[in-house]
Chains A and B, each alone.
Chain A
Amino acid sequence: KAGVTQTPRYLIKTRGQQVTLSCSPISGHRSVSWYQQTPGQGLQFLFEYFSETQRNKGNFPGRFSGRQFSNSRSEMNVSTLELGDSALYLCASSTGQDQETQYFGPGTRLLVL
């Protein structure tokens, strides 16, 4: 079974631009979660989607948004990029039951200049 895939793997943007990251979950998984990883703040939860509905959201500004499609694929968008948004963005999928194991993709590394 194929794992979680994320595209693109690397991105370079400039301040003020917006960016969209994509995540395809493991086949049969209906939950997708997003996390931001930085050296200073570590791994922080952004949001989680199940059947196209956001069930939980982390403490991030409204510039960070996401959505999930009917095929469970998910996208996250960051508008008006700031230097501090430079990070590794990780997507994880699971069956959708609370506390089930989440399986992670390789991440998208975003650099904001």
Chain B
Amino acid sequence: GDSVTQMEGPVTLSEEAFLTINCTYTATGYPSLFWYVQYPGEGLQLLLKATKADDKGSNKGFEATYRKETTSFHLEKGSVQVSDSAVYFCALSANYKLTFGKGTLLTVNP
């Protein structure tokens, strides 16, 4: 079946540092790929998405590129802020359901 593997962390960075969270997937078809973010005590918020190979999703300074050849969708941000501290989930969508990675806890210190 479909699966998503992402680095679990936790990841601790200083403000303005560069962020990468790795995500790879296994799927039988051609899924759409997502990054969601979860702040404490809240549900999931869509961060960005990509629907086909070589698409780049971007939002709030975060970027991820759909790489079919390496089955990857790594999340990057050039300069993180304290307000980016949260749990980040990589997910793929197929057959009307989302399959999630385990989540990566990011803490950004001032």
Residue B44 is within 8 A (CB to CB) of chain A in the complex: yes
Residue B69 is within 8 A (CB to CB) of chain A in the complex: no
Shortest CB distance A33–B (Å): 7
Residue of A whose beta carbon sits closest to that of B97? A45
Interface size class of A (residues with CB under 8 A): 20 to 34
Main secondary structure of the interface of B (DSSP, over half): strand
A-B contact count (CB 8 A): 55
Residue B45 is within 8 A (CB to CB) of chain A in the complex: yes
Instruction: Flag B83-110 by CB within 8 Å of A: 1 or 0 each.
Output: 0000001010111111111110000000
Chain A residues, CB < 8 A from B93: 98-100, 102
Taking A99-B32, A101-B34, A102-B93 as contacts, is the C-beta distance between A45 and B98 under 8 angstroms? yes
B95/A98 in contact, CB under 8 A: yes
Q: A14-22, A48-56, A73-81: which lies at the B interface?
A: A48-56
Chain A residues, CB < 8 A from B94: 98-99
17 A/B residue pairs, CB under 8 Å, sorted by A: A31-B96, A42-B103, A43-B91, A43-B100, A45-B97, A50-B96, A92-B44, A98-B95, A98-B96, A99-B51, A99-B93, A100-B93, A101-B49, A102-B98, A105-B43, A106-B42, A106-B43
User: Contact residues of B with A, CB < 8 Å?
Assistant: 31-32, 34, 36, 42-46, 49, 51, 89, 91, 93-103
**Sample of 15 further A-B pairs with CB below 8 A, known A42-B100, A104-B36:** A33-B96, A42-B102, A42-B103, A43-B91, A43-B103, A48-B96, A48-B97, A55-B96, A56-B96, A98-B94, A99-B31, A99-B51, A101-B46, A104-B44, A107-B43
